[in-house]
Structure 1
Amino acid sequence: MRVRSAKSEGLSYQEMGKYENALSFYNQALVIREKELGSEHFDVAKTLSNMSSTYRRMGKYEDAISVCQRSLEIKEKILGPDNPSIAITLTNLAEIYRDIGMYEEGATLCQRALEIKERVHRSDHPSIATTLYILGDLYKNIGKHEEALALCQRSFEIKGRAHKCDHPAIANTSNVLAEIYECIGDFKESLIIYQQTLEIREKVLGKEHPDVATTLNDLAGLYRKMGKYEKAQLLYQRSLEIRETVLGSNHPDTIKTLNALSELYKSMSKI
């Protein structure tokens, strides 16, 4: 299997949520590229960047950080500090830091990525939209809700012009928007956006995709805050089933949903 085919297969499996398969093909692509091009080639760095995203989704955060940092080092050596490809890897690394709770560090990386992208792209470039919503997510976790909302609204507007209304990229931003509205206590708006996000993800990705499980988990959390425990229970259970099947019982996201369901049962027992 040649490198382009291996990379293409890896991307396809990652989009489907089949991360073990994706990683296998990325590893094949990496071996070929390092052998044919050398370990410091730009194409090696691109493969490493793809691998880091897969490792992150698998919950293998140390591996994700390691390969992402290697990708960043290669790109900075070849391209200099201000290339848009470097901004992509910075954004990937920021996502990993977000997932492990290093929000300030992630925000710093994302801010640098955004500065690079805004210098080299037009203001409504889709790549900018990606960094905007991830930075918004980081700000949300830091407690900067107004800044987070503004960033995500801008991201949503850019993506709305670039994609169809049911594109997965729009759902990525809308899910974070729903989280922000939940954080500021606007449960009505949050509920509407979560439901729209779930509809898009189920339609485009399939009902057993990990991103569907994410929205189910988040929507369940909102219902729990609203005191709608039975609805929350059903959604948590469905999210848990998907995560156990697709990600495994030891994945951090699976454990997160299991713990949330346990806390819900405690709340229900007090009624």
Structure 2
Amino acid sequence: MQVMAHTYRSLGEIDKADPLMQQVVEIQDTLSIPLAEKAEAYNIRGLILRDKGDFDEAEKAMDQAVTLFQKAGESDTEEYSKLLADLAYVKRINANYDEALSMVQEAINIKENIHNRTHLQLAEPYYILASILRKQDNYEQAKINQFKSLDILQANINGPHPGKANNFNNLAIIYKEQDSLVKAGEHYQRSLAMSEKLYGPSHPEIVTVSSNFSNILLKQGKINSAKTMIKRALQITRNELGKTHPTMGQHLSDYAYIFRSKKQYSKADSLYDQALHILKKHYPDNHPRIVGVLHNKAENAYRSGQIEQAETLFRKVLSIRTERYDSSSEDIQIPLQQLLDILESKGNIQEADSLRNIFSSTQ
């Protein structure tokens, strides 16, 4: 049953893999089998839940796998270090950054004790470490570790490789956050060119880079080029994954941003609603992707003068994000400031001050 679940996962048939692996875990919990075997089952279960986008449950399953590996006395193995790195990435998504950082650093230490520091096995944990540091706004350290991952891959593998393309993409994200738009564009181009060599021009792997690149083009004022890029991502997703795939929802939100930048707010709002309709078929209402689109919809409403709708949406975004993020993070501070601006513009100074004090006291 476990082999079948693993096979379904490798084929991308997550809905078939999930119930099978759940049964495996439940059965193994009643049996007297080696703890390491139970740990592996929880690990696979966590990976399947991660693939489904159920990151909270994935974190719980993988935490249990860590505990079982430790009880089994196998906390210095390659398998355990891989679990730590995978769990660190899930914790990063769940905004548990300190735990994520500690885990991926432990994974790196274990791997460095097993291999030399330029071994191929170190590329992935350095990649994950960089992504965590980036989320903590530590861009210089993120860049250093992103280049470590890339350098290891380039030293061990000739020619195009998915890991290299992903590193170029993430370096572009870092440069974008540092407002180095030219360098960001260059790295997106390298990522896109390598992805096209690896997968061809119409593969789903192309769409994320295309979408990210379109955001850079927008910031550079190249609206028509950005529109062409995101329309390409939409077409590939629709043709290869289907019009109700969650990726379609994300790209519709990106497409809406183009119309928002052109002050076509009604068209943008319609696209945000389409994106939400798709995403809600796949994720719970508090999922980061859904909340991200709600935030974009709120900003669109604010810019178009629909202040009451914007206020309602900003409140909703804040109420959900406060359960996941620290109050000092920009995921909280940006919508908070937008809501405060609305309240103050309406003369609700007392409520604005009260909100400001509440969020200041929780930092």
Q: For this structure pair, what is the TM-score category when the shorter chain's length is used for normalisation?
A: 0.7 to 0.9
Amino acid at match of 1:84: E
In the alignment, the residues of structure 1 paired with residue 71 and residue 201 of structure 2 have an alpha-carbon distance, to the nearest angstrom, of 42
Report the alpha carbon displacement of residue 156 of structure 1 after superposing the two structures with TM: 0.6
Residues 27, 179 of structure 1: alpha-carbon distance in 2 compared, 3 angstrom cutoff? same
Report the alpha carbon displacement of residue 262 of structure 1 after superposing the two structures with TM: 1.9
Query: Quick check: 2:78–2:111 contact (8 Å CA) kept in 1?
Result: yes
2:58 is matched with which residue: 64, 71, 83?
Answer: 64
Report the alpha carbon displacement of residue 5 of structure 1 after superposing the two structures with TM: 6.6
Report the alpha carbon displacement of residue 166 of structure 1 after superposing the two structures with TM: 1.1
Query: Quick check: 2:188–2:213 contact (8 Å CA) kept in 1?
Result: yes
Amino acid at match of 1:83: T
Greater share of helix residues, 1 or 2? 1
Query: What is the aligned partner in structure 2 of residue 246 from structure 1?
Result: 241
Query: What is the aligned partner in structure 2 of residue 90 from structure 1?
Result: 84
In the alignment, the residues of structure 1 paired with residue 73 and residue 228 of structure 2 have an alpha-carbon distance, to the nearest angstrom, of 50
* More off after superposition, 238-247 vs 228-237: 238-247
In the alignment, the residues of structure 1 paired with residue 212 and residue 17 of structure 2 have an alpha-carbon distance, to the nearest angstrom, of 27
Deviations 1:12-51 (A, max 9, x none): 42xxxx252673697399479949x856543443344344
Report the alpha carbon displacement of residue 268 of structure 1 after superposing the two structures with TM: 1.6
Report the alpha carbon displacement of residue 141 of structure 1 after superposing the two structures with TM: 1.8
* More off after superposition, 143-152 vs 67-76: 67-76
The answer for unaligned runs of 5 or more in structure 1 is none
1:78 is matched with which residue: 72, 81, 85?
Answer: 72
In the alignment, the residues of structure 1 paired with residue 141 and residue 260 of structure 2 have an alpha-carbon distance, to the nearest angstrom, of 35
In the alignment, the residues of structure 2 paired with residue 202 and residue 88 of structure 1 have an alpha-carbon distance, to the nearest angstrom, of 28
2:118 is matched with which residue: 106, 113, 124?
Answer: 124
Over 6 Å off, 4+ runs: none
Q: Determine which structure has more spread, i.e. the larger CA radius of gyration.
A: 2
Instruction: Kindly indicate whether structure 1 or structure 2 has the higher relative contact order, using CA contacts under 8 Å at least 6 residues apart.
Output: 1
Query: Quick check: 1:10–1:26 contact (8 Å CA) kept in 2?
Result: no
Query: How many residue pairs end up in the alignment?
Result: 263
In the alignment, the residues of structure 2 paired with residue 43 and residue 263 of structure 1 have an alpha-carbon distance, to the nearest angstrom, of 47
Residues 165, 49 of structure 1: alpha-carbon distance in 2 compared, 3 angstrom cutoff? farther
Query: What is the aligned partner in structure 1 of residue 178 from structure 2?
Result: 184
Report the alpha carbon displacement of residue 249 of structure 1 after superposing the two structures with TM: 4.3
Q: How is 1:1-271 mapped onto 2 (pairs within 5 angstroms)?
A: 7=6, 9-10=7-8, 12-13=10-11, 18-20=12-14, 23=17, 27=21, 30=24, 34=28, 41-205=35-199, 209-242=203-236, 246=241, 249=244, 251=246, 254-269=248-263
CA RMSD across the alignment: 3.3
Amino acid at match of 2:195: R
* More off after superposition, 237-246 vs 76-85: 237-246
In the alignment, the residues of structure 1 paired with residue 38 and residue 200 of structure 2 have an alpha-carbon distance, to the nearest angstrom, of 31
In the alignment, the residues of structure 2 paired with residue 110 and residue 173 of structure 1 have an alpha-carbon distance, to the nearest angstrom, of 17
TM-score relative to the length of structure 1 = 0.80
The answer for unaligned runs of 5 or more in structure 2 is 265-363
